[in-house]
Each structure stands twice: as structure tokens, then as C-alpha cells.
Amino acid sequence: MHNKSRTRSHPIIVFLFPALAAMLLAFATGALYAGEALKNVSFIPHWSPQAQFAGYYVAFEKGIYRKYGINLDIKMGGPHSVPVDLLEKGEADFGTVWLSTAIQKRSQGVRLVNIAQIVQRSALMLVAKKGRGIARPEDINGKKVGLWRDEFRLQPMAFFKKFDLHVKIIPQSYSVNLFLRDGVDVASAMWYNEYHTIISSGVNPDELTSFFFHEYGLNFPEDGIYTLEHNFKKNPAGACNFAKASIEGWLYAFKHPEEALDIVLKYMTTANVPANRVHQRWMLSRMKDLVLPEDDKSITAGTLTKQDYLRVAGELRRNGLIGQEPAFDDFYKECVKYAEK
Amino acid sequence: MLRNKGIAFKLVLLFTLSSACIFAAIFTYNYFVSRQMIEKEIKENAGNLIMTTTNRIEAMLSAVQKVPENIAYFLENSTNDEQELFQVLYAIVENNPEIYGAAIAFEPYGFKKDKEFFAPYFYKAFGAMNFKYLDKHYNYFLWDWYQIPREIEKPQWIEPYFGEGGGIIMSSYSVPFYKKVGGKRRIAGVIVVDISLKSLRDIVSSIKILKSGYGFLISKNGTFVTHPLKEFIMNETIFTIAEARDDVKLRDVGRKMIKGEQGIAPMWVKSAVTGKSCWMAYVPIQSSGWSLGVLFPQDELMEDITSLNQIVLFLGITGIILLGVAVVFIAGSITGPLRHMAKATEHIGSGNFDIELPPVKTGDEVGKLSEAFSFMKESLKEYIRELTEATASKERMESELKIAHDIQMSILPKTFPPYPERTEFDIYATIKPAREIGGDFYDFFFTDDEHLCFVIADVSGKGIPAALFMALTKTLIKAKATMGLTTDNIISRVNEDLCIGNDMSMFVTVFCGILNVKTGEVQYTNAGHNPPLLIKRNGDVAYLEKSGELLVGVMEGVQYTARRIMLGRNESLFLYTDGVTEAMNERDELFSEERLKKELSKDQERTVDQVIHAVMREMAEFTGSTPQSDDITMMMITYKGSL
């Protein structure tokens, strides 16, 4: 009995800025920092190594962080290393956190700031077998639905409410085996992970009905880069350099997927995590869809829009998970504003 | 293109091509049939092997399955006595070597009203029996082994997993158990037993097919439970391999496998170990929903047949080469002499009969042809020699004939005018023999001072006999005429003489006349000759009347008669042989007496020679290219009158 899982969250800090500008600035800053002493910085991803974090490993391996004057230490993520905890304790300077988690943590008093919103779209989805008679949201009514806990329930619950669905919720564990063996009709899945696990267990995509929340007005951006507010204030440019370098790493990974996979698999092997290249390739290409959605040109890599922020915060408030919505400007630090200082 | 190639080339090409086709057909048939035979054998062997293996696995799994199934049955009717549960669990783990651990997990508050979690768990570790409660930290309600049988209410083998401490692959068999609450049978919990899959893996790993064939086991999700490649185990599914290889067919086979189907995927499955093409047989493990796959490397299966086929192929190709050589040799033995003969023919054609022919070595068609050719050469040589001789003798004869012609011509008076001092008459004559020497002749001479004897004659036949007869006749006539005889007597006597010893039955027509140059009187005898034309001074032209007298030399004792006409001043006699009037043109028309008469009527002022030449031209015009068939002789006398 084994498996993956998702993320906890905490609030605050932001940044927005165009990918191209990031690339251009990257070279400029690279030169700028060439002669200076590198700054020691640590980073904690919210899960063990996998392509979900390819951008950071690639940026590190390709020397992009050093180019930005950062001597980075990537800490091993996993179920026992929760980024928000490490940030709070000062054991890490930067970490990845889900937006909904971060907003909750911020409202609970952890002064997180978002300096880059990496994942623009929800990878969280519901998946069902067509063979069980589910083709549209209405078909879910009265069915057994496997749901994860906490923030993984926000969107599904809002979705059920939206379509007035009454379902039997089954707590979903770490595997999708219950779904595969028809113990539930609908399962939660991360698009880049469990969905492919289902495909890799012999179910064909055309046998599945997929419900992507962003298609139903329930887009919750997920992974973002966070630091503590006082750290950010001490050195906004340094924080933003980390964000920029990370984005540059992502862009490089998308452009050179096989090289990125080699890097990711190397980290997975080191971490003694089962490493399946096909699965990681799927994950990386889905990450590209989530970080740089091709069908929406208005999205800029690394940017958190106020609209997305308010949607998530509002949903949290309505569910009583936060009292008041933290101010957007306090929560998100748009890195373009802090460049080169 | 092929048409101009040599026989040898065509033979070699056709023989080798056709034998190669035959060989290819035999080879292909042989290959496919032997392959089918081997495939059939493989299927049988594979069937046996797979059957044995799956039976062993099934036996092992079903033995394990019975344990929790029995407990479920027992629990349904038992009271929740903790001590009793412990004893049962302990006994299960203790007494079943293949069972690594066992737990009885109750639904929340199902064992006791105050206990959300109740799941005693006995397990073997470090060679000893251990015990623990699975509690809220472990939260067994969320684990597959609990959740799946609970939700689908059926016993289940759950997906294999790495046991604690890693390394050992385990699987669990979970059976839901029920209790009656208020008359209703409701699910009360799940019994689970953990087993190590080591012995199962050993069974599958022991499958060795030829050199590199192997067996593997996949779980219900397609995950590799056993595989020769360690990195596949628990990390890859048959579907991720299919995706990595972009192999849709492999994915389809994988789906069949996890659906519990049985079958054989031919040839296109690639061995993960060697990359070789393999046959893959797959068969379900019914009790757990897993599937056993066995790979048979195609080339190793076909090794014997491949090497056999290589030898057959080698033999075949060698055979075709040898055949080719033999055909070249045979073709050479045919075409060699033929080429030699063709060359010899060229030489013979150019007259060299002494060329050596290839010696006849064989008795076959070529030998016979060569023999016949040799015979032909000798015959030709002989014939040509004879022909040369004949030609030489003909040439000699021709030259002799020429001489004879010259002599014949020389005995006819050729000088015109013959008597320039005589003004009383003009005379002209010409002869044109049809062949070298002819049978016509003419003659004229004075018998005395006043009388001119003139003769025209036509001997039957032509050539030398006619010429000799003509010479004889001419001599006789001249001899008789000079004796002063009259023309009837001359002809009669000549007839007598010619009839003597005329065994050849030759004859001659003669017109003999004697002109008295003083008076213009002409005494004549016509012995069967064409009647001459009399050309009067006033331009009238007429034939003398026909004599009706016999030819000379036909019959003895014939009496001829003499006739007389008077030639006036400038009146003429025109004598000719039938070669003139019977000359023919292309349309087989005769020149005819009419045409002759017409020609002579034309102009009265011409001299004798002009008239004769004019007739000659007219005839030439008439006959055109038609060859002359008879001697042409003409003579004309014009009386001028005496002083």
C-alpha cells in the first residue's frame, strides 16, 4: 500500500510578469551577477521529485539560478516536509504551495506572499467511466464519488452545488484502484498524475469522461512560489530573481522535454522514488498545458490574476475556511515591479 | 533486345531464370510449411508450459484464499470475542507458511460502540510473530485492501505492493464479512491476509524459453509483478511500455490480458530484454485477475528451420550456378561449331573452299549438320570446278563460233557498190543473223558480161548446221550459175545435189534471179521463198506472184520453172527473208508484208542502201526491245538501164 498525494497550502506574495521579459532579463541579470558572491537560498517543493517540479530542477541543473546570483539548495519534498511549515520555521526560503492552501494559511496568520503563480489551471479533475453511464455533469447525480480531503474538495463541492448534484462521497485514498475496480463511479484525479495512472492501467481515454473544473468556471490555480513576507521585504529583488529563474527553468524544460525528463528522473532515482519515464513525460507535457495554456493567450506565465485570486478566496470564505479574504495586493507581489533592485 | 542475343545467352538466361523460379517456389513452400509445423509445436509446448505454471500459481493462490473466506464465514456467526479473534488470527499466520500477516478490520464502531478503529494484525517479522492494532494513524478505512472489498462487497486480491522495508513484493487477499444487525445482513469489516509473492515470482522466473524467452506476470492494473528486467517490476505497466514504444497493438493485448482473456500475440511483440521479435502467449490467473505472459523469441524458435533454410538456400543457389555452368557448356558445344560454320560459310561465300571445317565429334544434330555442311562444301567445290570447266569450253566454243561467223560473213559479198564501173544497175544487200551464225545468205555475181546472177536464201534452222548447209547451197548455186544455166536448171541441179545425203533433212528456200543488164530482163526461179517486191518507176510497189514451187533439198527430181519480168529504167526488185516480215514486237504483232510494202512505197528518190537502211530502222522501231528471233536479210537491185 503506497502512493502520492497533493499539497497543503499557505498564503501570500505575488508577482506577475511576462515570460519573454523574464527571458530577456535573465540574460541581463546573468551578466550582472557574474562577479558577485552567490546568495545562499533554499527551496522546498511540496512533494517528492517528479515532473510537477521539473522547472526548478532544470533551472538548478542548467545553472539558471546561479546566473541569477542564487546558490540554491533544493530540499527533499514529501509527505513529511510541508513547505509552509518549513518556511515558517525558517528552514526554507522559498516553497511551492497551492493557492487555496496559501490563502488559508495567510488568513490564519502565516504571512506568505506569492511571488509567482506557476500553475494557471486546475489539474484537479473528476474522471468517470463512460461505461458507468456518465457523460455529463448531471449523470453524476446519485453516484459514488471518490474525493480527497481538505482543499481537494473545494472545487468538487462547488461543482456539485452548481449542478445540484447529490452524490455519495467516498473518501479517496492514495490509489485509483477503487475507481479501476468500479468501487466508485467517479474519482478525483490530478490530470498530470492519476489520470495517466488510470490510462496506464489499461483504460482507454475514450472510455473516460473527464470533468475539468476550469471548463465549468471553477478554475483554481494551483502551484505557486511562496516566501514569507518579511523575507520578501528584506530583499524583493532577490526573491524575484528566484521567481524569474524558476520560470526560465520551466520554459527551458518545456522546450527541451527529454533533457528535462532526464534531470527529473535523476532526482527521482536519488530520492528512491519509483521513476517511470512515460508517466513523467505525460506529467511534464500536462504541466506545460497548465503553466502555458495554449488555448488562452491572455495568460502570462507566472502571473496571478486578481480574478483567479478572488474566485479562490471567495470560495474559501463561503465554505467557512477563511474569515476574511486577504487583500490581493498584500498576498501577491508582482515581480516585474521589483526587478533589479 | 533479347532477339539479337546469342543462343548461349538466351539458354543461360531462360534456364537459370526458370530454375530460380522453381527453386524459389519450392523454397517458399518449404519455408512456410516447416514454419507452420514449428508454430504448431510451439503452441502445444507453450500450452503445456503455461498450463503447468498457471496451475501452480492458482493452487497457491486458492489455498490462501480459503483461509480468510473460512474466517469470514466463521465471523458472521460469532460473537465479537477479542480473545477468540486473536487466537484465530494467530493460528492463521502461524500455520500457513505462505501467509505473512493477517488482520480482521472492523467497520467504524463495528466491534465496540466506542471504538472507531479496531483491527488486530498479526504478522511475521524478523523470524518472529508480531502483533499490532491498526489504528487511526494508519487509518485503514482509506486503504485499498479495506476500501475495495468493502465498496464492491466481493473478496478481492489487491494490487501487489512493496512490503515494509521494501524488497519483498506482497499482495493481500481481502474478504468482506457480514453480521446481522436487527435482522439485516450488513457489512461488518474486512479480513485480510498478506502473502509474499516471492514463491510466485520464483515460479514465473523459472520459465525459460530457449535462450532468451521468458515469462512475466502482470497485475489487474497491468503492473509488472515479475519480469526479468528489475526496473519494470512495480514501476511499469504493460501500458506504459506500450506508450513508450508507441505500440497500440501491445496496449490492446494488455487490455485483453487484464480482462482475463487468453491468446497468442504473433511475432510483433518485442522482447524487453533483447528487443527481438517474439510470440507472446498470455493466459489469465483466474483467481486473482492477474495475467501470465510468456515470450517465445521468434528467431530462436526458427533457429533450426532458419539454418535448414540457409542450407537449402545455399544448395539451391549452388545448384543454379552449376546449372548455369552446364547450360553454358552445352550451349557452347552447340554454338561453337555453329559459329565456326558461320565463319566457314563466309569464307566459302567468298570462294575459299579449302577452309577447314570443325571436326565432327558428335552424332547429334550439330554433328549431322556439320557433316552435311562438309558434304555440301565438297559438292559445291566439285560443282564449281565442273562449272569452271564448262564455262571454259563454252567460251572456247563461242570464240570458235565468232570465227565461224566472220568466215560466213566473209563469203558474202560485202563491198558496196560491188561493181563501181557498172552503171546499169545498183545493188545493195545486208544480213543480220539472229544468232552468231545464221542460215540466211545472199549472193550476186556476173555469170558473163551481161548477166548478173543474184540469190537470196533461207536455210531451215539456225546455227552451225544451218551455216554449213547455207555455205554448201551458196557454193552449189554459184557453181551451177557460172555454167550459164537458166535459173530453173540451176535450182533443179542444186536440189539434186542437196538431196543427196541430206540425212539431216535440212532444206532451204531460194530466190534466184539473173538480170540482163542490157535489157533489164530478169529471169528468176522462186523455190518456196518469200516473193520479192517490184518497185515500179511510177511508185507502185507490188509483190511478185507466189511461185508455189517446192523448197530446195526436200525432194529429188523436182523440176523448177523459170519466169521472166522486165525491169524498166529505175525500177527495182526488193528481196528479203521471212526474218523481215515475221519480226515481232512486244504485243506479238508481226512486222508483216503490209508494213514492208508501205515502207517501200515511201520515197522513190532513195538509193538502194538508203532504202534498206530505212527498212532496218523501221523494223528496229517496230520491234523495240523484243529480241530478234530470226535472221534478217535484205537485197535490193535497181535497174538503171544500159547506155
pLDDT, one tens digit per residue, over A214-230 is 999 899 999 999 999 99
Q: Which long-range contacts (CB under 8 A, 24 or more apart) does B10-15 make?
A: B11/B327, B11/B330, B11/B331, B12/B324, B12/B327, B12/B328, B12/B331, B15/B323, B15/B324, B15/B327
The torsion angles phi and psi of B374, rounded to 5 degrees, stand at -65, -45
* Contact yes or no for B243 and A200 at CB 8 A: yes
- The residue among A2, A150, A177 with the most chain B CBs within 10 A of its CB, best to mutate, is A177
pLDDT value at residue B165: 63
Name the residue among B147, B288, B318 with its Cα closest to residue B223. Answer: B288
Check pLDDT > 50 for residue B504: yes
Output the CA angle B237-B240-B241, nearest 5 degrees.
90
Check pLDDT > 50 for residue A235: yes
- Topology agreement, domain B78-199 and domain B207-301: yes
Q: Which long-range contacts (CB under 8 A, 24 or more apart) does B333-341 make?
A: B333/B362, B333/B366, B334/B7, B334/B8, B334/B366, B335/B6, B335/B7, B335/B8, B337/B366, B337/B369, B337/B370, B338/B7, B338/B366, B338/B369, B341/B369, B341/B370, B341/B373
Instruction: Among A204-218, B71-85, B569-583, B593-607, name the most confident range.
Output: A204-218
Name the residue among B468, B412, B458 with its Cα closest to residue B434. Answer: B458
Q: Does the beta carbon of A171 lie under 8 angstroms from any beta carbon of chain B? A: yes
* Contact yes or no for B141 and A171 at CB 8 A: yes
- The whole-number average pLDDT for the span B4-16 is 81
For the stretch A158-209, pLDDT in tens is 999 999 999 999 999 888 999 999 999 999 999 999 999 999 999 999 999 9
For the stretch B544-562, pLDDT in tens is 888 778 888 888 888 999 8
For the stretch A82-122, pLDDT in tens is 898 999 999 999 999 999 999 999 998 899 999 999 999 99
The torsion angles phi and psi of A95, rounded to 5 degrees, stand at -155, 160
**Helix, strand counts (H, E) of chain A:** 14, 10
**ipTM of predicted complex:** 0.83
The torsion angles phi and psi of A109, rounded to 5 degrees, stand at 110, -5
Give the Cβ contact number of residue B395 at 10 Å: 10
Cβ-based contacts of B159 with chain A (< 8 Å):
175, 177
- The whole-number average pLDDT for the span B416-424 is 87
Q: Alpha carbon of A318 to those of A12, A154, A322, B572, B601: distances in Å?
A: 20, 10, 8, 167, 157
Check pLDDT > 50 for residue B145: yes
Measured between CA atoms, how close is B323 to chain A, in angstroms? 58
Task: State the pLDDT confidence band at B436, using cuts at 50, 70 and 90.
Answer: low
Coil, strand, or helix at residue B35? helix
Check pLDDT > 90 for residue B198: no
* Contact yes or no for A171 and B144 at CB 8 A: no
- The residue among B144, B249, B255 with the most chain A CBs within 10 A of its CB, best to mutate, is B144
Percent of chain B clearing pLDDT 90 (strictly above): 26
- The whole-number average pLDDT for the span B598-624 is 87
State how far the Cα of B604 lies from the Cα of A98, in Å rounded to an integer. 153
- Which fold is adopted by the domain B412-639? Phosphatase 2c; domain 1 (3.60.40)
Out of A184, A204, A279, the one facing B151 most closely (by C-beta) is A184
Coil, strand, or helix at residue A27? helix
Give the Cβ contact number of residue A205 at 10 Å: 10
State how far the Cα of B635 lies from the Cα of B628, in Å rounded to an integer. 19
Q: Which three cell numbers stand for residue B403?
A: 570465227
- Superfamily name and number for A19-121+220-338: Periplasmic binding protein-like II (3.40.190.10)
H helices of B500-638, where?
Answer: 578-581, 592-600, 608-623
pLDDT value at residue A3: 36
| Whether the Cβ atoms of residue B68 and residue B145 lie closer than 8 Å to each other | no
- The residue among B100, B151, B241, B251 with the most chain A CBs within 10 A of its CB, best to mutate, is B151
B74 or B410: whose pLDDT is higher?
A: B74
State how far the Cα of B135 lies from the Cα of B583, in Å rounded to an integer. 153
CATH architecture observed for domain A124-216: 3-Layer(aba) Sandwich (3.40)
Coil, strand, or helix at residue B587? coil
State how far the Cα of B341 lies from the Cα of B346, in Å rounded to an integer. 9
Helix (H) or strand (E) holding A65: helix A64-67
Check pLDDT > 90 for residue A61: yes
Task: State the pLDDT confidence band at B265, using cuts at 50, 70 and 90.
Answer: confident
Helix (H) or strand (E) holding B255: helix B248-258
* Average pLDDT of every residue of chain B: 86
For the stretch A277-319, pLDDT in tens is 999 999 999 999 999 988 877 778 889 999 999 999 998 898 8
* Average pLDDT of every residue of chain A: 86
pLDDT value at residue A12: 30
Name the residue among B599, B636, B515 with its Cα closest to residue B564. Answer: B515
Coil, strand, or helix at residue B132? strand
Name the residue among A172, A143, A154 with its Cα closest to residue B139. Answer: A172
- Which fold is adopted by the domain B207-301? Beta-Lactamase (3.30.450)
List b or e across B603-627, with b for residues whose CB sees 16 or more CB atoms inside 10 angstroms. Answer: eeebebbebbeebeebbeebbeeee
**Helix, strand counts (H, E) of chain B:** 14, 23
Measured between CA atoms, how close is B87 to chain A, in angstroms? 26
Residue A12's DSSP bridge partners are: none
- The whole-number average pLDDT for the span B130-140 is 89
Q: Alpha carbon of B39 to those of B33, B209, B301: distances in Å?
A: 10, 14, 8
* Contact yes or no for A202 and B143 at CB 8 A: no
For the stretch B355-412, pLDDT in tens is 777 777 777 777 788 888 888 888 888 888 899 999 999 888 888 877 877 777 778 8
Helix (H) or strand (E) holding B510: strand B508-516
A126 or B343: whose pLDDT is higher?
A: A126
pLDDT value at residue B592: 86
For chain A, residues classed under CATH 3.40.190.10 are 19-121+220-338, 124-216
Q: Does the beta carbon of A177 lie under 8 angstroms from any beta carbon of chain B? A: yes
The number of angstroms, rounded, from the C-alpha of B214 to the middle of its chain's C-alpha atoms is: 56
- The whole-number average pLDDT for the span B299-315 is 83
Q: Does the beta carbon of A329 lie under 8 angstroms from any beta carbon of chain B? A: no
- The whole-number average pLDDT for the span B254-260 is 93
CATH of region B78-199, choose from 3.40.50.2020, 3.40.640.10, 3.30.450.20, 3.40.50.2000: 3.30.450.20
Out of B144, B161, B255, the one facing A202 most closely (by C-beta) is B255
Instruction: Among A256-270, B29-43, B357-371, B583-597, name the most confident range.
Output: A256-270
Coil, strand, or helix at residue A306? helix
* Contact yes or no for B244 and A278 at CB 8 A: yes
For the stretch B277-301, pLDDT in tens is 888 889 999 989 999 998 888 888 7
What region does A121 belong to: left with phi over 0, alpha with psi -120 to 50, or beta? beta
Residue in A closest to B161 by C-alpha: A1
The torsion angles phi and psi of A156, rounded to 5 degrees, stand at -60, -40
Indicate the domain borders of chain B: 78-199, 207-301, 412-639
pLDDT value at residue B320: 87
